[in-house]
A and B are shown apart, each in its own frame.
Chain A
Amino acid sequence: MRHLTYLVVLAACLIGTAPLEVILRTRVYARPVRLLLTLLPVGVVFTGWDVYAISRRHWGYDRAQMSGVRPVGGLPLEELLFFLVVPVCAVLTLEAVRAVKGWPVGDEPAGDEPAGDEPVRDEPAGDIPAGDSP
C-alpha cells in the first residue's frame, strides 16, 4: 500500500474540495471547457518545469511511495496529476470565496462589476493639455 501514498495525498485534495462544488455551487466542474482551457497552459508550463528540474536533479522521488506508472516522457503519473489537481483546488477555492463574499474576480460581464473594488480605468482620462488652446 505504501506505493499509493502520493496518490492518496492527491485524492485527499480532490475529496476535500469537492463539497465546495455542491454546497457553495462554485460551478467549476460544471464549466469543463473553461476548466480545461485553464489546465492546459498551466499543465504545459509546470510539467515542463518538472521535467527540467528532474533532469537537473533539483528534486527527485521515492519510487517506493509511488505507483511506478510513467505515462508520458518518463514523468511519474503522480506528478502529472499534481499539476491538474492543485489547479482545480485553487480554482474551487477562488470560486468559493466569490460565492461566500460576492467579491468580483475580474471576469464579470461589463457593467456587472460592483464599484469600489478596483479602479478599472488604467489610462489617463484625457491627453489634451489644458490652457494651450488659442
Chain B
Amino acid sequence: MSYTALAAVGVAATVLLDLAVLRTRVLVRKAFWVAYAIIIVFQLITNGVLTGLAIVTYDPRAILGPRFVYAPVEDLLFGFALVTQTLSWWVYWGRRLNGAKPARHRFKGQPGGPS
C-alpha cells in the first residue's frame, strides 16, 4: 500500500477506534477540537523542520505529491491519526482509572431493575 492509502486507512481506523471500539467519543468534544487546532500549528512547525531540513525524506511514488509546509499532505492524516488515537486512549484509561462508566452503560438501568 502507498503512504496515501495507508494514511486514509489510518484515519478511518482512528474514527472507528474512538467512536465504536473504545467509545470514548473525543471526536465530538469541543475540548478535543480546540486542542487539535493548537496541536496542528506545532505539528506543522516541527514537521516542517523535519522535512524542510530533509531529515525525513519521502519516496515520490508513495505520496500524491502536494505538500504543505514542506511535508506531504499525507502527514496531516498521519498526524491526525496519531494525536486522536492518543487522546482516545488517554480518555479511555482515565475512565477506567477514575471509575467513570462508558457512555453506553449510563442509561442502561431498566425500570424496576437495579439502578
By beta carbon, the residue of chain B nearest A43 is B86
Check if B101 sits within 8 Å of A110, measured CB to CB. yes
B35-92 with Cβ < 8 A to chain A = 35, 38-39, 42-43, 46, 49-50, 53-59, 62-63, 78, 82-83, 85-87, 89-92
Check if B104 sits within 8 Å of A103, measured CB to CB. no
- A77 CA / B1 CA spacing, docked (Å): 25
What's the nearest-Cβ distance from chain B to residue A36, in Å?
Answer: 9
- A63 CA / B85 CA spacing, docked (Å): 29
- A9 CA / B87 CA spacing, docked (Å): 22
- A27 CA / B31 CA spacing, docked (Å): 16
Task: From known contacts A41-B89, A49-B6, A107-B91, infer whether A34 and B39 are also in contact, taking CB-CB under 8 Å.
Answer: no
CB < 8 Å neighbour of A66 from B3, B55, B91, B98: B55
Digitize A64-84: 1 where CB-to-B-CB distance is under 8 Å, 0 elsewhere.
Answer: 011000000000000000010
- A16 CA / B63 CA spacing, docked (Å): 31
Check if B30 sits within 8 Å of A117, measured CB to CB. yes
Check if B94 sits within 8 Å of A122, measured CB to CB. no
Task: From known contacts A57-B59, A105-B26, infer whether A120 and B103 are also in contact, taking CB-CB under 8 Å.
Answer: yes
What's the nearest-Cβ distance from chain B to residue A42, in Å?
Answer: 5
By beta carbon, the residue of chain B nearest A33 is B97
User: Which residues of the partner chain A approach B3 to less than 8 Å between Cβ atoms?
Assistant: 53, 58-59
- A123 CA / B110 CA spacing, docked (Å): 13
CB < 8 Å neighbour of A5 from B53, B62, B87, B92: B53
Check if A118 sits within 8 Å of B95, measured CB to CB. no
Task: From known contacts A57-B59, A110-B101, infer whether A97 and B85 are also in contact, taking CB-CB under 8 Å.
Answer: no
Q: Is A62 an interface residue (CB 8 A)?
A: yes
Q: Chain A interface (Cβ within 8 Å of chain B)?
A: 5-6, 9, 12-13, 16, 31, 33-35, 37-39, 41-42, 45-46, 49, 52-53, 56-62, 65-66, 83, 86-87, 89-91, 93-94, 96-98, 101, 103-110, 112, 117-118, 120-123
Q: Chain B interface (Cβ within 8 Å of chain A)?
A: 1-3, 6, 10, 24-26, 28-32, 34-35, 38-39, 42-43, 46, 49-50, 53-59, 62-63, 78, 82-83, 85-87, 89-95, 97-101, 103-104, 106-107
12 contacting pairs across A/B (C-beta < 8 A)? A39-B86, A41-B89, A42-B89, A53-B6, A58-B62, A59-B57, A62-B56, A89-B39, A90-B35, A91-B90, A93-B38, A103-B31
